[in-house]
Amino acid sequence: MALIDFGGIKEEVITAQEFPVEKAREVLKNEVVAVLGYGVQGPGQALNLKDNGINIIVGQREGGKSWERAKSDGFMPGKTLFPLEEAAKKGTVIQFLLSDAGQVAAWPMIKKCLNKGDALCFSHGFSIVYKDQTGIIPPGYVDVILAAPKGSGRTVRTNFVNGSGINASYAVHQDYTGKAMERITALGIAIGSGYLFPTTFEKEVFSDLTGERGVLMGCLAGVMEAQYDLLRKHGHSPSEAFNETVEELTQSLIRLVAENGMDWMFSNCSTTAQRGALDWSPRFRDAVAPVFRDLYESVISGKETRRVLEANSSPDYREKLQKELDEIKYSEMWKAGAAVRSLRPENRIK
């Protein structure tokens, strides 16, 4: 492990320098890693494991879109692609990557497939932490571990293909074999992590649910909409409102923040932008702080979990979801966004 200083607080992290892929292969050489679910995280993790030389199979409902996608990605029915139950029986490490609601539905069947000494691996603490709602309580004769990439499944794959990685947290909830830490370290590296940092199942799900409802998606979408609507109400064109709200952020500024930090961003913009950002940042922070307090309380109380499970279990959920997504897609703001994106190739400097 490497001891890294994070702003005066030292953390132990694991990188591929200390735990290279070759070591991960050695640790997992006698394992069959069964990736259950080929939806959001499944494809990226499965393909990265495959490319890193890990013995991997995929479990997915037969005949659906995800089954066909797995086939198109090179997994072969009867050899490396199986129905969920068959894959779970074959695996010694079960990568449980179904949706949270899907895990609840499949758990009774998956539990019967677990053998003594198997490892049950999650990429989210949801099912274990909220066991009173999910009913997912692993037997005592398996390792229960977690490797949670801090990004979308698509990014897990694209970063790997581009030669980089995506950071991930890791945790051991139950160590039956005495090898749980070695197993999860190997899995974390093999799925393509940039570096691994320790967490617990509780901390992972509390931070993850807060983040995706907050800065990563919910807050970001809401703030963008508020600024876009304000500019439009004051007579700015859709192109101007969208570029000042979204395009400049996503195509320029956030990339610079990612590369160099917000302090660098503040130091390398115009003095007018710098002064304004410094003055207004505390006002935005103080305005949203109560919302974040409410959000975090809703997460740790289990209210958010109940909402997810109730909504996702509804028989007409997908129809309702599509209606909500279409409202965003066909709003003026995101129709303007589609138009702006369509113009990007023409703006390239030859």
pLDDT in tens, 282-317: 999 999 999 999 999 999 999 999 999 998 888 898
Nearest to 245 by CA among 258, 289, 234: 234
Answer yes or no: 124 catalytic. yes
Q: What is the pLDDT of residues 309-343, one digit of tens each?
A: 998 888 898 899 999 999 999 999 999 999 999 88
Phi and psi dihedrals of 276, rounded to 5?
-65, -45
Share of the chain above pLDDT 70, in %: 99
Residue 345 pLDDT greater than 80, yes or no: no
Confidence of residue 27 (pLDDT cuts 50, 70, 90): very high
pLDDT tens for 204-220 read 999 999 999 999 999 99
Q: Provide the CATH topology of domain 2-199.
A: Rossmann fold (3.40.50)
Q: Kindly name the residue from 124, 173, 234, 236 that is annotated as catalytic.
A: 124
290 to 197, 209, 219, 285: CA distances (angstroms): 29, 17, 13, 9
Write out pLDDT tens, residues 63-92.
889 999 999 999 999 999 999 999 999 999
Q: What residue type is 300 in one-letter code? A: I
Residue type, 180: A
pLDDT, mean of residues 98-123: 95
Cα(18)–Cα(11) distance, rounded to whole angstroms?
A: 15
pLDDT at 346: 59
Band of residue 348 on the pLDDT scale cut at 50, 70, 90: low
**b (16+ CB within 10 A) / e for 330-344:** eeebbebbeebeeee
Residue 20 phi, psi (nearest 5): -70, 165
Is pTM beyond 0.85 here?
yes
Over 90: is that where the pLDDT of 50 sits?
A: yes
pLDDT at position 135: 95
- Residue 329 and residue 321 in contact, taking contact as beta carbons nearer than 8 Å: no
Structure tokens belonging to residue 35: 């990736």
- In the chain, domain spans: 2-199, 211-347
Quick: pLDDT tens for 147-200.
999 988 899 999 999 988 889 999 999 999 999 999 999 999 999 998 899 999
Task: Report, as an integer, the average pLDDT of 232-236.
Answer: 97
CB burial class (10 A; 0-12, 13-18, 19+) of residue 164? Answer: exposed
What kind and span of H or E run contains 64?
A: none
Q: Taking residues 107-120, report their average pLDDT.
A: 97
Name 79's Cβ contacts closer than 8 Å, sequence gap at least 6.
none
